Chains A and B, each alone.
Chain A
Amino acid sequence: MSHPVVPSDTTTPTGGRIFHPKAAEPAPVTVVGKQAWLKNNLFSSPLNSAITLVLLALLGSFIPALADWLFISAHISGQTQDACTGDGACWVFIKVWIQPLMYGNYPDASLWRVNLSLILLGAVLSSPYWLPPKLRNKVDIMLLLAFPFMAIIILDGRLLGLEYVSTAYWGGFSLNLFLASASIILGMPLGFLWALGRRSNMPMARSICVVLIEFFRGVPVLALFFMGSVMLPLFFPEGTNVDKLLRVWIVLTLFMAGYMAEVYRGGFQAIPSGQYEASAAIGLSYWQTTLLVILPQVIKVSMPNILATSVMLFKNTTFLMIIGIFEILSTAQNALTNSNWLGGFSTEAYLFVAVIYWICCFSMSMVATRIERKLDTSHKS
């Protein structure tokens, strides 16, 4: 450890002492490095060491069995359930049913339309990374808001002169993705409007927004789905037949908006009043203040909760099986009751659904963490 050399000129011309700040030294090895991490996190006390060892033993006892079932003894070749013998997992089941699980009953010849919509979804979501910075803010939001309608046009096909595919054939995991993304995309701005309404000084706007928010937050999502599929048609004029999937989409969007409104409300409360005062002093109008100053900060503060709510909504799309929409979980159950596949493959089926969901939700939180870091401008550097 080298100490900085004490400079020779230690006194000022007037006899005062010159202040020389000390140079920073590297941290000792007990603070940084792998060894220090192990010591601090896993073996910091006798009790912690014991817990670490017990957990390692536990992991060691079931990981080999799990790996054996998942991979070593598992079957993947073949086309029927007879291919699966022995104890391992039967991935043949997933292999054979993968198309319905992903695309539902969408016609084989038109599958490219589903794939195109999925690619579009990916492109729209990643647009902040590939759009030139100048276009980003404006085009991004337009693309996002347009996505649900573009996907509907492509999947439906009539407007483009393609073969018409009724929503009764849409299904599988792609439907979960489309419904979730379409409701999140439209629910977020709608929720923001409701949150603004709830804060408004106008009694009428405020009461309407409070009733809407509390209704869609207070009623279980399953009950909302039943209302959407059974009750909602009663309110439409006689003879109109509003598509079931469209009704479900509306219900999901309103549900999302109700939750988002409360998420934003928390964000609004975190904005200091000085931000409003500074905006007023500059002369910004109500909408300019809201959109240019307040909204970006509200979103930044609310990011963790926005993510949590989006994940919740995405997972809630599996409830749609109850009202007879062929999303991934109901397709899996259908496959399990198929007369050719009665060998008891429910573990494989549900594990597959769980893993797919987990991958999507985990990616969502990774993206959200990145966005959070990008939005964080408070750091000192």
Chain B
Amino acid sequence: MSTNLNNSNVSQGTAPIQAPGDVITLASLNKWYGDFHVLKDINFTVKKGERIVICGPSGSGKSTMIRCINRLEEFQRGALIVNGIEMIDDVKNIEAIRHDVGMVFQHFNLFPHLTILENLTLGPIWVQKKPKAEAEAMAMNYLERVKIAEQALKYPGQLSGGQQQRVAIARSLCMAPEIMLFDEPTSALDPEMVKEVLDVMVELADEGMTMLCVTHEMGFAKKVADRVIFMDGGEIVEENTPVEFFEQPETDRLQLFLSQVLQH
């Protein structure tokens, strides 16, 4: 509902209109860091409710790609459309896209000077202008969903890594996003804490959230993903359903990657 409101005052670019049901469209997306060509002609679309796992060796551009989707990174050529809004320099468009897209980071990035509850209510109160009581009630609701409500008044520094990451997920959900981006959400966690975070993500997937997840958790990919994307050298090398992806990789590059990742 609020998305439609936002759509009415965003600028229209020259990019192709999204097909119905598509929520993210990347068309010939190119990005350079100085002289370094990070993303080479990326083309792909995400449908509403799809769960997509992106994997690949480090430096393959997978994080950069999903960070383009909510403009933590800018791209130089091509087009990106999120929920019918084209990503251009117009602040209105950027705000509207960020409204629809939530993000979870590798290093949680909670605000250390605020309590867990304040971390969750900051966005709803200041961006969505919700009354404090309503924002807090909603925040407690989400904290219960990630099974951490009893920590609401503590500070992030007092929580374990797994708890912090669950708080970070709840913080994103408080903004009621339609799409969630996960940038290696379990890579900075102790092995014993990976599961509690993945459980929350699986639950979210089961509820039908559109998810893009950069991760090395192949078990999660097999269990949850609708499609798995393999990137290397700034390109999408292969994309397929999990079964095909793991059982019958087409390219030698993916075969090599899987043989190394799945060995241990």
- Residues in chain A within 8 A of chain B (CB atoms): 272, 274-275, 277-278, 280-284, 288, 292-293, 296-297, 300, 375, 377-381
Residues of B within 8 A of A283 (CB): 95, 98-99, 123, 127, 175
Docked CA distance A278–B111 (Å): 9
Residues of B within 8 A of A275 (CB): 109, 111
Q: Which residues of chain B (114-128) have a CB below 8 Å from chain A?
A: 122-123, 126-127
Query: Contact at A277–B109, with CB atoms within 8 Å?
Result: yes
Docked CA distance A277–B67 (Å): 10
Query: Contact at B155–A377, with CB atoms within 8 Å?
Result: yes
Docked CA distance A277–B122 (Å): 15
In the assembled complex, how far is the CB of residue B78 from the closest CB belonging to chain A, in whole angstroms? 21
Q: Given A281-B72, A282-B171, A292–B126 Cβ distance below 8 Å?
A: yes
Residues of A within 8 A of B70 (CB): 280-281
How would residues 67 to 78 of chain B score, 1 for a CB under 8 Å from any chain A CB and 0 otherwise? 000111000000
- Looking at B8-16, B100-108, B193-201, the stretch in contact with chain A turns out to be B100-108
Of B111, B155, B156, the contact of A293 (CB 8 Å cutoff): B111
Can you add 18 more A-B contacts, CB < 8 Å, to A280-B70, A281-B103?
A275-B109, A277-B103, A277-B109, A278-B109, A278-B110, A278-B111, A281-B70, A281-B101, A281-B102, A282-B122, A283-B123, A283-B127, A288-B127, A292-B126, A377-B156, A378-B155, A379-B157, A380-B157
B264 lies within 8 A of chain A by Cβ: no
Give chain A's interface secondary structure class.
helix
How would residues 115 to 155 of chain B score, 1 for a CB under 8 Å from any chain A CB and 0 otherwise? 00000001100110000000000000000000000000001
B208 lies within 8 A of chain A by Cβ: no
B59 lies within 8 A of chain A by Cβ: no
Residues of A within 8 A of B168 (CB): 278
Query: How big is the B interface, by class?
Result: 20 to 34
Q: Given A379-B158, A380-B158, A284–B109 Cβ distance below 8 Å?
A: no
Residues of B within 8 A of A284 (CB): 122-123, 126-127
Residues of A within 8 A of B158 (CB): 379-381
Query: Contact at B105–A297, with CB atoms within 8 Å?
Result: no
Query: Contact at A297–B113, with CB atoms within 8 Å?
Result: yes
Residues of B within 8 A of A381 (CB): 158
Residues of B within 8 A of A281 (CB): 70, 72, 98, 101-103, 105, 172
Query: Contact at B112–A282, with CB atoms within 8 Å?
Result: no
In the assembled complex, how far is the CB of residue B195 from the closest CB belonging to chain A, in whole angstroms? 20
Query: Contact at A274–B107, with CB atoms within 8 Å?
Result: yes
Docked CA distance A380–B154 (Å): 10
Query: Contact at B112–A297, with CB atoms within 8 Å?
Result: yes
Of B95, B98, B105, the contact of A274 (CB 8 Å cutoff): B105
Of A280, A292, A375, the contact of B122 (CB 8 Å cutoff): A292
Query: Contact at B113–A296, with CB atoms within 8 Å?
Result: yes
Docked CA distance A278–B175 (Å): 12
Query: Contact at B123–A300, with CB atoms within 8 Å?
Result: no
* B103 and chain A: residue at smallest CB distance: A281
Q: Given A297-B112, A377-B112, A380-B157, A278–B126 Cβ distance below 8 Å?
A: no
* A300 and chain B: residue at smallest CB distance: B113
Query: Contact at A288–B102, with CB atoms within 8 Å?
Result: no
* A277 and chain B: residue at smallest CB distance: B72
Residues of B within 8 A of A282 (CB): 98, 122-123, 127, 171-172, 175
* A378 and chain B: residue at smallest CB distance: B157
Residues of A within 8 A of B103 (CB): 277-278, 281
* A375 and chain B: residue at smallest CB distance: B113
Docked CA distance A277–B156 (Å): 17
Pairs A-B, 9 closest by C-beta atoms: A278-B109, A274-B109, A378-B157, A377-B155, A282-B123, A281-B103, A283-B127, A283-B98, A296-B113
In the assembled complex, how far is the CB of residue A276 from the closest CB belonging to chain B, in whole angstroms? 9
In the assembled complex, how far is the CB of residue B163 from the closest CB belonging to chain A, in whole angstroms? 12
Docked CA distance A293–B113 (Å): 8
Docked CA distance A377–B102 (Å): 26
Residues of A within 8 A of B95 (CB): 283
In the assembled complex, how far is the CB of residue B185 from the closest CB belonging to chain A, in whole angstroms? 13
Residue among A283, A377, A379, A381 with the most chain B CB within 10 A? Answer: A283
Residues of A within 8 A of B105 (CB): 274, 277-278, 281
Docked CA distance A274–B112 (Å): 12
* A293 and chain B: residue at smallest CB distance: B111
Docked CA distance A381–B159 (Å): 9
In the assembled complex, how far is the CB of residue A306 from the closest CB belonging to chain B, in whole angstroms? 16
* A278 and chain B: residue at smallest CB distance: B109
Residues of B within 8 A of A278 (CB): 103, 105, 109-111, 168
Query: Contact at A377–B157, with CB atoms within 8 Å?
Result: yes
Docked CA distance A275–B119 (Å): 12
In the assembled complex, how far is the CB of residue A213 from the closest CB belonging to chain B, in whole angstroms? 26
19 contacts between A and B (CB under 8 A): A272-B109, A274-B105, A275-B109, A278-B103, A278-B105, A278-B109, A280-B70, A280-B71, A280-B98, A281-B102, A281-B103, A282-B122, A282-B127, A283-B99, A283-B127, A288-B126, A292-B126, A377-B157, A378-B155
Docked CA distance A277–B126 (Å): 16
In the assembled complex, how far is the CB of residue B162 from the closest CB belonging to chain A, in whole angstroms? 15
Residue among B102, B111, B172 with the most chain A CB within 10 A? Answer: B111
Residues of A within 8 A of B156 (CB): 377
* B104 and chain A: residue at smallest CB distance: A281
